[in-house]
Amino acid sequence: MKAVIQRVKESAVTVEDREVGRIGRGLLVLLGVSRDDTPGDADYLLDKTLHLRIFEDEAGKMNRSLLDVSGALLVVSQFTLYGDCRKGRRPSFVQAAPPETAEELYEYFVDQARERGVPVATGRFRAMMDVALVNDGPVTLIIESI
């Protein structure tokens, strides 16, 4: 699995001019699932995401996690994270998981976050979405499962 994580002051996702998810302070997670991913990959990525010390403490140092600041997640499925652009001009998505598998692991990731008490908003799987955010910092990181 692969995630682009952005620390945000707020973020929202809209489908067909209707807002389907919104958070305040927290992390926007663009989540991609590859053909070889398992629930173990989702567990690893979620644990890393929730415990990354990327929020500032009183001294202004990135020393606090999402859990420390009681932040929220906005999780948006993003199969294009597995686009291979090395050859030609059109990305190849052969490494992206088939939609059924990807949706299952995406939902698993979201459910596991909620089970840990994290407020989670989501986009809509396989929909064309507009994602808005106020990036805080900006802080943007890429995390991949092992």
- What local confidence, expressed as pLDDT, does residue 37 receive? 98
Provide the b/e sequence for 49-77 (b: ≥16 CB within 10 Å): bbebebbbeeeeeeebbbeeeebbbbbbb
79, 109, 112, 122: the active-site residue: 79
Q: What does the pLDDT average to over 1-11?
A: 98
pLDDT band, residue 19 (cuts 50/70/90) = very high
Q: Based on the residue annotation, tell me whether 80 is a catalytic residue of this protein.
A: yes
pLDDT by residue (tens digit) across 55-109?
999 999 999 999 999 999 999 999 999 999 999 999 999 999 999 999 999 999 9
Asked if residue 146 has pLDDT above 90, the reply is no
Domains (ranges, CATH) in the chain?
2-144 (3.50.80.10)
Whether the pLDDT of residue 12 is over 80: the answer is yes
Distance, in Å, from the CA atom of 90 to the CA atom of 83, rounded to the nearest integer, reads 9
Position 120 scores a pLDDT of: 98
The pLDDT assigned to 114 comes to 98
Amino acid at the residue 26: G
33-66: pLDDT as tens digits: 999 999 999 999 999 999 999 999 999 999 999 9
- For the question of residue 78 being annotated catalytic, the response is yes
Choose the catalytic residue: 6, 14, 49, 78.
Answer: 78
